[in-house]
């Protein structure tokens, strides 16, 4: 066997970003006391976003008002606002508020965009909070504040706006709020002719209703109207409902005709590009201010649009609803809080990461600033993993519903559909080797979190079948599906792909990653059977695990690490004998997590991962990246080297490494893997990272790409859930079990830390001291003053608080 030399690749050179001279050092900072990130200047390296949602109506909004929103959890068919993907300036159109001085005709916008007034004339601050985004500005001696959020009690997003006169003389202004409607689905909206033909707007005083037709398909009633509205708390003096009338043709959003003219055209759009804009006159004495609410909402009829439109576009209602939003997220975050010696840990853990994980729990990968997709619903593997991180915080009923919904698109043969679509309420796609296995982990974690053993007996249907089976039986069928789809070495067939979607051109190949995941699923089922007293089945799961572990170690060990695949003709992928893709992170971490690696091999595999895949920005997915399209490897090879599945830091995989390192008790290693990717760390390198530091992202570009270190695809990524899970479970070491909380920290020799964790309704105050500065190990635990045997703090009933003292050593 040839032994090509492999050099470690840890160095990542930094190249200056093209197109920007003398960038400012920073664009914002974390404000943990207020649980916010504060953006201090609007000219960030790229738009920085936040999500706003009530669980059903959801939007994302940038720090200059851009983004979109959708109703009833359905971004595929109920998308309301338009946003362009490729336009320049980026992130247009937006939820803008033009402010025009009636005397001087000077114009600026409360959101900076789309006028981009020079910063010496424009003061700006943006507060990014859980559930809201507040943009404050001062320009032309007018102060403004806009808070965007979704009303908990309405299917609508609200813009709560205050305009204040900071001048010494009275000011006569017109404000022009602007929203641009989308034609419900990407396909519809892309076809301008269709958009022109069918759009229909009704404007009536304070409410503009967009009531264009949508084709629901034969089975769901064919062409029917659906209704979105734009409503204002103040009466407009004029309005526009058509893009051409408001903006014009050969001009941009920075100089809309109507704003320049100082009045809208009162044109009612029936067959043109639908927008909502209003002119609201306002005279303010020196020091005076006035508040408004603009609402973008969804309704089922004209009348329904009028009524809630008027009800929700109301300042008192909006203030009350904003209070409710803030309270809701305070309560949510309170489920798990930590004070450690390291802000790298605490700042993301206590606010931003659980918030983001809640967003992925709702949105899966359906719609994000860089994924304006019209074809993805809730991903089966994605949402099962999203549930993992969100469990300590979520209402157990919501978790139960999500897991059961996903199980309902499993086929009777055990294979799962790839996506669930909330609109039609159905699954689609399939053919992957991993999807069905993730349910085993989600169910195990859920039952341990909630104590809801009854869920295992719950009958759940199947995809395109009249049959039903218990949750546990669904999981069994999943395991059996894998067992019926094994290759020549007895390892699971890759089928169309596994978790790594783009390693997909190997008909007949076997996946070592899926073998590891299957082992973890066997362990999960073993635990569940044991919990319900079915010892025989539990023992059977242990045997299944042992059989697969033996095969992995017989066929997939490459000397220093585990292979990624074995092709149909027996060739290895992820081997030192390969030219590209010599080593992959997924198989090596999951063989350890699935408890299939003997201790020496586990250590060697993770050491190799560290040696070859670690970079200052995180650990790469594989190395070296493929240089050219290789039809024998898959679509990852069409990605530029260092992008996405072709050798970037695919962040989602890094928490797996944290978990695996912690399972070996290597607390410093685990923390080091975590630290490289912590949002707090990324906040120190804003000009390299480029994306919003307060939200984690999917991949980090790697060499040879010149943008190495740059973050791609923030927000909807499985990384959020796994990062949160590895922090709580692997590093803090607090893991629910059927009868209580396991305490098993694995830390970078912290001297002490504290945790508050709500578990089944009881708040656990956990104080850990570590005078010997060990990485792992427990000397003593006392619970409410009584010494405990072992490290399982028992669950209690009807006791609001429990105090736990932990001595490591």
- Active-site annotation, residues: 501
CB of 615 to ligand GLC, least distance (A): 19
Q: What angle, rounded to 10 degrees, do the helices at 471-484 and 535-555 form?
A: 30
- Tell which residue, 552, 543, 438, 444, has the closest CA to residue 492: 552
Q: Nearest Cα to 208, choosing from 247, 242, 241?
A: 241
C-alpha to C-alpha distance for 314 and 293, rounded to whole angstroms: 6
Contact residues toward ligand GLC (CB under 6 A) are 365, 379, 381-382, 499-502, 645, 698
The residue (of 381 and 551) whose beta carbon lies closer to ligand GLC is 381
Least distance from ligand GLC to the Cβ atom of residue 386, Å: 10
When the beta carbons of 174 and 498 are compared against ligand GLC, the nearer one is 498
Q: In whole angstroms, how close is the CB of 698 to ligand GLC at the nearest point? A: 6
Let me know: does 46 contact 693? Beta carbons within 8 Å: no
CB of 124 or CB of 499, closer to ligand GLC: 499
* Shortest distance (Å) from residue 212 CB to ligand GLC: 31
d(CA 374, CA 364): 13
CB atoms within 10 A of CB 739: 13
Residue nearest to ligand GLC (CB): 501
- Residue among 473 and 501 whose Cβ is closer to ligand GLC: 501
CB 179 within 8 Å of CB 95: yes
Map residue 469 onto helix, strand or coil. Answer: strand
DSSP alpha helices (H): ranges in 147-263? 186-190, 192-198, 243-246, 257-261
Task: Report the nearest approach of ligand GLC to the CB of residue 430 (Å).
Answer: 13
Spatial distance between the Cα atoms of 605 and 569, rounded to a whole number of angstroms: 25
Report the interhelical angle of 718-725 vs 380-390 (nearest 10°).
Answer: 30
Residues 325 and 683: beta-carbon distance below 8 Å? no
Q: How far is the CB of 513 from ligand GLC (least distance, A)?
A: 11
Quick one: 321 or 717, whose CB is closer to ligand GLC? 717
Contact yes or no for 573/513 (Cβ under 8 A): no
* Pick 110 or 521: Cβ nearer ligand GLC: 521
Closer to ligand GLC by CB, 382 or 775: give it. Answer: 382
Using CB atoms within 10 Å of the CB of residue 541, give its burial: 0 to 12 exposed, 13 to 18 middle, 19+ buried: buried
Q: What is the rounded distance in angstroms from the CA atom of residue 295 to the CA atom of residue 315? A: 11
State the minimum distance, in angstroms, from the CB of residue 383 to ligand GLC.
Answer: 10
Q: How far is the CB of 710 from ligand GLC (least distance, A)?
A: 17
Distance from first CA to last CA of the chain, Å, rounded?
A: 46
Annotate 381-427 with DSSP letters as a single string: HHHHHHHHHHTTTS-HHHHHHHHHHHHTTB-TTS-B-SEEETTTTEE
Q: Smallest gap, in angstroms, from Cβ of residue 428 to ligand GLC?
A: 14
Order across the sheet with 426-428: list the strands.
378-379, 419-421, 426-428
- Cα(378)–Cα(362) distance, integer angstroms: 9
* Contact criterion met (CB below 8 Å) for 435 and 416: yes
For ligand GLC, give the closer residue by CB, 365 or 619. 365
Distance of closest approach, residue 636 Cβ to ligand GLC, in angstroms: 8
Distance CA 312, CA 148 (A): 14
- Residue closer to ligand GLC, measured from CB, 263 or 381: 381
Nearer to ligand GLC, 346 or 382 (CB): 382
Distance CA 36, CA 619 (A): 28
Rounded to the nearest whole angstrom, what is the least distance from the CB of residue 594 to ligand GLC in the complex? 17
Q: How far apart are CA 439 and CA 387, in angstroms?
A: 10
Strand pairing report for 778-783 and 801-808: antiparallel
The residue (of 195 and 503) whose beta carbon lies closer to ligand GLC is: 503
Cα(605)–Cα(618) distance, rounded to whole angstroms? 17
Write the CB contacts of 419 (distance below 8 Å, at least 6 apart in sequence): 376, 377, 378, 379, 380, 427, 428, 429
């Amino acid at each position: 066997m040839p032994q090509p030399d492999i050099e470690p690749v840890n160095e990542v050179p930094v190249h200056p970003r093209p197109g920007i001279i003398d960038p400012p050092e920073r664009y914002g900072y974390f404000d943990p006391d207020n649980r916010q990130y504060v953006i201090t200047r609007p000219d960030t390296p790229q738009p920085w976003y936040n999500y706003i949602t009530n669980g059903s109506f959801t939007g994302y909004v940038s720090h200059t008002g851009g983004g979109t929103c959708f109703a009833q959890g359905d971004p595929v068919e109920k998308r309301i606002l338009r946003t362009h993907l490729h336009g320049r300036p980026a992130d247009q159109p937006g939820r803008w508020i033009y402010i025009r001085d009636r005397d001087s005709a000077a114009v600026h916008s409360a959101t900076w965009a789309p006028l981009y007034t020079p910063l010496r004339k424009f003061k700006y601050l943006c507060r990014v909070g859980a559930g809201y985004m507040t943009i404050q500005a001062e320009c032309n001696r007018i102060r403004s504040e806009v808070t965007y959020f979704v009303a908990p009690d309405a299917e609508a997003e609200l813009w709560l706006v205050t305009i204040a006169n900071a001048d010494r003389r009275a000011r006569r202004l017109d404000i022009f709020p602007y929203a641009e409607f989308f034609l419900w689905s990407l396909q519809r909206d892309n076809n301008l002719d269709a958009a022109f033909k069918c759009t229909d707007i009704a404007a009536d005083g304070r409410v503009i209703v967009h009531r264009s037709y949508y084709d629901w398909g034969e089975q769901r009633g064919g062409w029917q109207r659906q209704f979105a509205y734009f409503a204002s708390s103040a009466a407009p003096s004029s309005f526009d409902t058509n893009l051409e009338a408001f903006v014009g043709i050969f001009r941009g959003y920075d100089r809309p005709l109507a704003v320049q003219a100082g009045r809208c055209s009162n044109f009612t759009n029936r067959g043109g590009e639908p927008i909502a804009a209003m002119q609201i006159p306002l005279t303010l004495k020196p020091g005076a201010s006035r508040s408004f609410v603009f609402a973008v909402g969804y309704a089922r009829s004209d009348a329904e649009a009028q009524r809630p439109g008027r009800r929700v576009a109301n300042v008192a209602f909006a203030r009350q609803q904003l209070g409710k939003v803030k309270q809701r997220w305070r309560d949510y975050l309170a489920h798990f809080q930590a004070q450690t010696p390291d802000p790298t840990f605490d700042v993301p853990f206590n606010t931003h990461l659980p918030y983001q994980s809640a967003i992925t729990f709702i949105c899966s990968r359906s719609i994000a600033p860089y994924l304006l997709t019209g074809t993805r619903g809730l991903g089966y593997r994605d949402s099962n993993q999203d549930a993992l991180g969100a469990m300590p915080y979520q209402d157990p009923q919501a978790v139960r519903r999500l897991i059961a919904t996903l199980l309902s698109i499993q086929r009777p043969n055990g294979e799962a559909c790839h996506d669930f679509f909330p609109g039609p309420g159905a699954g689609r796609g399939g053919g992957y080797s991993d999807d069905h296995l993730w349910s085993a982990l989600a169910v195990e974690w859920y039952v341990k979190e909630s104590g809801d053993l009854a869920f295992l007996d719950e009958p759940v249907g199947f995809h395109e079948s009249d049959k039903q089976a218990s949750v546990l039986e669904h999981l069994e069928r999943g395991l059996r599906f894998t067992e019926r789809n094994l290759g020549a070495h007895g390892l699971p067939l890759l089928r169309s792909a596994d978790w790594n979607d783009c390693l997909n051109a190997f008909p007949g190949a076997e996946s070592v990653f899926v073998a590891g995941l299957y082992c973890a699923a066997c362990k999960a089922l073993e635990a569940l059977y044991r919990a319900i007293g079915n010892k025989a089945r539990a023992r059977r799961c242990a045997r299944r695990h042992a059989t697969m572990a033996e095969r992995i170690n017989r066929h997939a060990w490459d000397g220093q690490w585990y292979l990624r695949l074995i092709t149909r003709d027996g060739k290895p992928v992820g081997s030192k004998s390969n030219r590209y893709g010599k080593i992959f992170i997924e198989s090596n971490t999951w063989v350890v997590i699935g408890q299939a690696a003997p201790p020496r091999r586990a250590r060697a595999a993770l050491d190799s991962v560290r040696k070859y895949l670690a970079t200052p920005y995180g650990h790469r997915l594989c190395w070296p990246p493929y240089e050219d399209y290789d039809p024998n490897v898959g679509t990852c090879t069409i990605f530029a080297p260092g992008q996405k599945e072709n050798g970037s830091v695919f962040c989602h995989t890094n928490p797996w490494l944290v978990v695996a390192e912690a399972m070996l008790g290597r607390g410093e290693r685990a923390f080091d893997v975590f630290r490289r990717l912590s949002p707090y760390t990324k906040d120190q390198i804003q000009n390299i990272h480029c994306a919003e530091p307060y939200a984690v992202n999917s991949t980090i570009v790697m060499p040879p790409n010149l943008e190495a270190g740059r973050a791609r695809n923030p927000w909807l990524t499985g990384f959020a859930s796994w990062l949160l899970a590895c922090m709580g479970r692997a590093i803090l070491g607090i893991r629910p079990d059927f009868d209580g909380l396991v305490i098993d920290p694995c830390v970078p020799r912290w001297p002490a830390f504290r945790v508050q964790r709500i578990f089944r309704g009881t708040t656990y105050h956990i104080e850990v001291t570590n005078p010997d500065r060990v990485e792992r190990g427990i000397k003593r635990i006392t619970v409410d003053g009584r010494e405990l045997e072992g490290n399982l703090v028992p669950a209690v009933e009807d006791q609001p608080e429990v105090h736990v003292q932990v001595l490591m050593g």
